[in-house]
Structure 1
Amino acid sequence: MRCFCVTHYGQPLELIEKDIPQPQGTEVLVRVKAAGLCHSDLHIWEGYYDLGGGKKLMFADRGLKLPLTPSHEISGEVVAAGPDAGPVQIGLVAVVHPWIGCGQCAACRRGEENICVKPQSLGAVRDGGFADYVIVPHPRYLVDLSGLDPVKAAPLACAGVTTYSAIKKFGERIHEGPIVVIGAGGLGLMAIEVLKALGGKGAIVVDVDATKRDAAQQAGALAAIDARAPDAAQQIIQATDGGARAVLDLVGATPTMTLALDSSARGGHVVVVGLMGGDITLSLPVIPMKPLRIEGSYVGTLPELRELVALMRDGKIQPTPVRSRPLDEVNDALIALSQGKVIGRTVLVP
């Protein structure tokens, strides 16, 4: 089978031919129908996260071993199962929950495998979806896609469940006023859909790219603000009638986090999702005096992915715009994403 692998950080993914793996124990073999491309794949490709101040968190220092097949947004068809997998429907088309944990730590026992202390995530630790086949450790990580397009549904495994989980952290605030969403890429467009499905007041979207701002307004954003405008914070404050009560930072860079804090109202809640990198300087008295709530959110849980798929099946969430490309164009797709040329999501099809 074909696998497109990171063999050297910063270099084009390399095509490696491997034998089709045979599932062992509880494992399931899935023939990949679609594999989404995410900004996290860019970080894996580059080999580090930017921690700001010239510091980098290197994947090699975290024990990541190459070669590695990226992509954690995977949908496909079950073609075989190990002897201990239990009753598995061969031919089932499913989206794969890739955020797999050790199963033993406190987070895993709470059902939060996505924040496991020893993660085994597909496409990040174990081989992922830029291949003809992928091994899934257990059939419980398969979410039935009956009636849904596997290409359009593949991004639910990250872009979808990440925004869904983050927005749920705002609780009742989504009903009190508009949520400020920084970033109008695939996650930003999905955030607009999630807010509609949950009955929220809507989204005010902020981005540096005019084309992406237009896409957000076409998707139903209440307003779109240029993040680079000198008065961007004041525009947000005016649009939210005195300051944002809830800000979703889908970029996670120094300028976006600074903008989120500058435009927050007293009692504001900022949820940071993006991993673009950098750092901020924040006067500590401001946190209790304002008071601010700053929270991180990392992807989502298996139950949340099931909830999200159900919402899409019921027609309450529409897929984000997807451009499908043949799997052998993966390097061109990576470059396009790194240059900010992707509207919505790119999905590679074997």
Structure 2
Amino acid sequence: MKSYQVTEFGAPLVEVHAATPAPQGAQVLLKVVGAGICHSDLHIWEGAYELGHGRKKLSFADRGMKLPITMGHETAGEVVAVGPDAVGVRVGDVRLVYPWIGCGECAVCRAGDEHMCLQPAYIGVQKAGGYADHVMVPHARYLLDLEGLDPVAAAPYACSGVTAYGALKKVQDVFASPIVILGAGGLGLMALSLLRAMGGKGAIVVDIDARKREAAARAGALATVDAAAPDSVQQVVAAAGGPASAVIDFVGNPDTATLGFECLRKGGKLVTVGLFGGGAPWALPLIAIKAITIQGSYVGNLQETQELLDLVREKNIPAIPVTTVRLARVNEALSELHGGKLIGRAVLTP
């Protein structure tokens, strides 16, 4: 079995060869067909999140992450072996791996929200992920049927897809009016493709990169705005026909947080998804005066991921732009993502 592992934060991933594991109990072994490269992987690779305001970085090492780790939490693959207790899956099945696995015992997990568990066992974060030719999954319930879908294009649904879907559900009550999407990377484009299928009127998309704004326009944005423009807030408000009811921030830095806040009407909602980092810039009195709701949104649960796949099939939603990259070029791909050069999503293939 070949994998590419983070052995030192900030250093190039290392190619590692080891015996291919045999599944035990209810485990299922898959041959990786596609593994998406997520912006969150950059933070894992770098080893920390920026918190802003002079705070110490949020370190993965301080939070108990032990190296080496094989990243990759957007994985699709073909079942090649099953443990003696595995049920509901057969060799040859092509499945999407749900990676956001919790302890399975706490009240949060029992309620179906394993992605919010305080003792996570996420595939690609705490457990070996898809930056490899094989991946082990602890139970078949975390494997979702990809019948009718291209597994390479569908791999990002495990994170960017369900993240976009989960964020959109939080503002679904205002879909009759345009919403604002900050960031036209993989998440923003995924949200655009889902919004209309979920009954939304449409979105104004804001990004600093002209190429990404063009991609958003091709994907059906009602309008696009350059985030760096001095009158970006006024442009957004004009395009939306007034202050927005909802803004989803798929970037998550002080500039986008400020822009999103200033675009909102009284009683509006700002959903923060992106993890670029920094400190919150809002004046506290204005949160109350404008009665703004600021809500975080973190990936989604297993049921929401299944809902997403059902929606994609039912509405025949086109996949976001995907750039396939050979697994051996993973370090180049991470560097390109870090430099903002990728449009849509990069997916590693064997």
TM range (shorter): over 0.9
1:257 aligns with 2:257: yes
* 1:89 alignment counterpart: 90
Mapping of 1:225-304 within 5 angstroms? 225-304=225-304
Distance 1:308 1:27 in 2: 25
* 1:50 alignment counterpart: 50
* 2:145 alignment counterpart: 144
Q: How well do the aligned residues superpose, as a CA RMSD in angstroms?
A: 1.0
Per the alignment, in what secondary structure is the counterpart of residue 320 of structure 1?
A: coil
* 2:200 alignment counterpart: 200
1:313 aligns with 2:317: no
Distance 1:188 1:32 in 2: 26
Q: TM-score with structure 1 length normalisation?
A: 0.98
Q: Identity of counterpart residues, as a percentage? A: 56
Mapping of 1:52-91 within 5 angstroms? 52-54=52-54, 55-91=56-92
Give 1:87 deviation, angstroms.
4.0
Give 1:38 deviation, angstroms.
0.4
Distance 2:237 2:314 in 1: 35
Give 1:316 deviation, angstroms.
3.4
- Paired letter, 1:306: Q
Preserved contact between residue 254 and residue 281 of structure 2 (Cα < 8 Å): no
Per the alignment, in what secondary structure is the counterpart of residue 108 of structure 2?
A: helix
CA deviation map 1:274-326 (0-9, x unaligned): 00000123332222221100000000111111111112223432110001011
Preserved contact between residue 82 and residue 90 of structure 2 (Cα < 8 Å): no
- Paired letter, 1:154: A
* 1:211 alignment counterpart: 211
Per the alignment, in what secondary structure is the counterpart of residue 15 of structure 2?
A: strand
User: For this pair of structures, how many residues does the alignment match?
Assistant: 349
Per the alignment, in what secondary structure is the counterpart of residue 324 of structure 1?
A: strand
TM superposition outliers: structure 1 runs of 4+ over 3 Å: none
Give 1:262 deviation, angstroms.
1.1
Distance 1:171 1:312 in 2: 17
- Paired letter, 2:24: Q
Change (3 A) 1:319 1:57: same
Per the alignment, in what secondary structure is the counterpart of residue 61 of structure 1?
A: coil
CA deviation map 1:109-154 (0-9, x unaligned): 1111111111111111111000011110110010101121110000
Distance 2:88 2:253 in 1: 45
Per the alignment, in what secondary structure is the counterpart of residue 194 of structure 1?
A: helix
Distance 2:281 2:314 in 1: 44
Give 1:179 deviation, angstroms.
1.1
Give 1:233 deviation, angstroms.
1.0
CA deviation map 1:47-87 (0-9, x unaligned): 00111124200100010011000010000011111122224
Mapping of 1:76-155 within 5 angstroms? 76-155=77-156
Distance 1:147 1:287 in 2: 46
Per the alignment, in what secondary structure is the counterpart of residue 300 of structure 2?
A: coil
Preserved contact between residue 197 and residue 315 of structure 2 (Cα < 8 Å): no
- Paired letter, 1:239: A
Give 1:187 deviation, angstroms.
0.7
Distance 1:88 1:3 in 2: 24
Q: TM-score with structure 2 length normalisation?
A: 0.98
1:339 aligns with 2:329: no
